[in-house]
Structure 1
C-alpha cells in the first residue's frame, strides 16, 4: 500500500521522485488532475497508484491524501498565475491534515529570497525578502506550511532547488539550446549567458527527496539542494557544441527583448520580473543538507548534457525542427 503521495507528479521533478521510489521497490501514489496523463507516465509501473483530484473540492483533496503518511507537493501553476500558489497549498494542506497525513514536503525555489544579501553562496539563513510578486507568493506558500508545522498540525519541510535541466525537461533555460544542438538550429537563451549560474540535474533530485522524507530531523526546517557547481550558460552551450561537433548559432534575449516579446507571449512577459536572477546570480549552499543526509550524487555537467542531448526528440528529415 502506498504511504507516500506525489501531488503534481506529472512534472519533471515528480518523475524523478517516482523513479527514485520505484528503484527502492517502494509503492507510491501519483496525484494529478489529468488521469490520461498520469496513466501515460506511470501506468506501466505496478508500484504506482494513480489518483486524480480536484483541489477546489475539500472532499477530493482528503480522498487523494487518504491513507498517506508523507505528501510531496510539486503542484504547478501557469507562470502568469502565481497568485494561485498560496491558496492551492492551503487547500492541499487542510485536506492533508484532515486525512491524517503526518509529513509534508514542499519542493521550493529561490524566489522567496529576493536579491542576494551578503554574497554567494547562500545558506538557509539568508533573509527571505522577496521584491517580486512571484517571490512573495512563494514565500506565502512556505509561511502557510511552516506555520502549520510550528503549530503542531503537521510535520513540514521545504527543499529549495535552483534552475534545473535534464532529459526531456522542457521547463529549463537550457531546453531550447539542447534541442537546437541536437537538430542543428539556433539556440534560444536568456541573457546574459556569461554570468555565474548553477543548474541541478533533475534525475539527481528524486533520490534526495526520498531520503529527506525518511529523515525525521529534516522536518521543521528549510533545506537547499545546490547544483553540480557554478557554471555559465555559455559554458554549457560549449559542452553541447563539443559533444555534437556542431557550432551553434545563439539568439540571446535580454530584459528588453523579453519585455517586447511579452507583448505577445504571457510567459515571456512574466520572465521580465525574474530577470534579476540572470544578472544578480543566487548560488545555493547545501552543506547543511549534506550534513543531514550524507553525500549527494551530483551528475557532472558534461554527463548531464550528454544525457539531455541523447533524449532530445529526433529532427524531421531535412529540417532543424524536432519531429
Structure 2
C-alpha cells in the first residue's frame, strides 16, 4: 500500500518527487484535481496509485489521504488567487488529521521572509516579515501547518525552495530563454538580469523530499534547499548561447513594463509586487539541511542548462510559401 501521497502531484516538483520514490521501488499515491493529467504523468507507472480530489472539501481530502502516513503538499493556485493558500491548507489539515496522516511536508517559497534583513546567504532563522500580499498568504499557510504540529495534531515541516528550472518546467524565469535558444527568436525575461540569483534544478528536489519522508528529525522545523550556487540570469543565457551556438536577443521586462503588461495579463500584473526578489536578491543557506540528511546532489548549471535545452520541442521551419498555403486552407 502507498504510504506517501503527493498532493498537487502533476506539477514539475511532484513529478520529481515521484521519480525519486520510483527509483527506490516505493509505491506512492498521486493526488490531483484532474484524472486526465494524472494519467498523462503517471499512468504508465505500476507503483503509482492515482486519486482525484476536491481540495476545497475536507471530506475529499480525508478520502484521498486514507491509509497514508506522509503527505507531501505541493498544491498550486492561480498566481492572482493567493488568498486560497491558507484556506486550502486549513481544509487539507482537517481532512488529513481525520484520515490519520502522521506527517505533512509543505514545499514552500521564500515569499514569507519579505526583504532580506540579515544579509545573504539567508538561514532558516531569518525573520518572516512579508511586505507583500503573496508573502502574507504563504506565511499564513505555513503558520497553520506549524501550529498543527505544535498542538500535536500532526507532524509537519517546510522545505523552502528558490526559483527553479529544468526540462519542461514552464513556470520558470528561464523558460522563454530556453525556447529561444533552441528555436531562435527573442528571449522574454524579467529583469534586472545581472543581479545575483540562484536556481534549483527541479530533478534535484525529489531525492531531497524522499529523504525527508524517512527523517523523523526533520519535522517541527523549516529547512532550506538552495540552488547550485550564485549566478545571474545573464550568465545562464550566455551558457545557453555557448551550448547552442546561437546568439540570443533579450527582451527584458522592468517593473514598469510589468505594470503595463499587467493591464492585459493577470500573471504579469501579479509579478509586480514580487519584483523585489529580482532587484534585491535573496540567496539561501542550506547547510542545516545538509547536516540533517547528508550531502545533497546538485546538478551544475552547465549540465542543467544542457538537459533543459534538450527537452525543448524543436519547431521546424516551414518551407518557403508553405505558411501562406496553410492559411488559405
What is the aligned-residue RMSD (CA, Å)? 0.7
Structure 1 residue 96 corresponds to structure 2 residue 84: no
Equivalence for 1:225: 225
| Residue aligned with 2:126, SS | coil
- CA drift at 1:85: 0.4
Mapping of residues 256-267 of structure 1, within 5 Å: 256-267=256-267
Structure 1 residue 315 corresponds to structure 2 residue 312: no
> What are the Cα deviations for residues 197-235 of structure 1, in whole angstroms up to 9, with x where unaligned?
000000000000000111000000000000000000000
**In the aligned structure 1, how far is the partner of 2:318 from the partner of 2:227?**
36
Equivalence for 2:237: 237
**In the aligned structure 2, how far is the partner of 1:57 from the partner of 1:236?**
42
Give the aligned length.
Answer: 319
Equivalence for 1:51: 51
> What are the Cα deviations for residues 300-322 of structure 1, in whole angstroms up to 9, with x where unaligned?
00000000000001113249xxx
Equivalence for 1:80: 80
Structure 1 residue 204 corresponds to structure 2 residue 197: no
Equivalence for 2:180: 180
Equivalence for 2:120: 120
> What are the Cα deviations for residues 268-291 of structure 1, in whole angstroms up to 9, with x where unaligned?
000000000000000000000000
Equivalence for 2:140: 140
Runs of 4+ in 1 over 3 A off after TM superposition: none
| Residue aligned with 1:144, SS | helix
Structure 1 residue 61 corresponds to structure 2 residue 61: yes
**In the aligned structure 1, how far is the partner of 2:54 from the partner of 2:241?**
44
- CA drift at 1:196: 0.1
**In the aligned structure 1, how far is the partner of 2:151 from the partner of 2:49?**
31
Structure 1 residue 166 corresponds to structure 2 residue 166: yes
- TM-score, normalised via structure 2 length: 0.96
- TM-score, normalised via structure 1 length: 0.98
Equivalence for 2:325: none
Mapping of residues 19-30 of structure 1, within 5 Å: 19-30=19-30
**Long gaps (5+) in structure 2:** 320-329
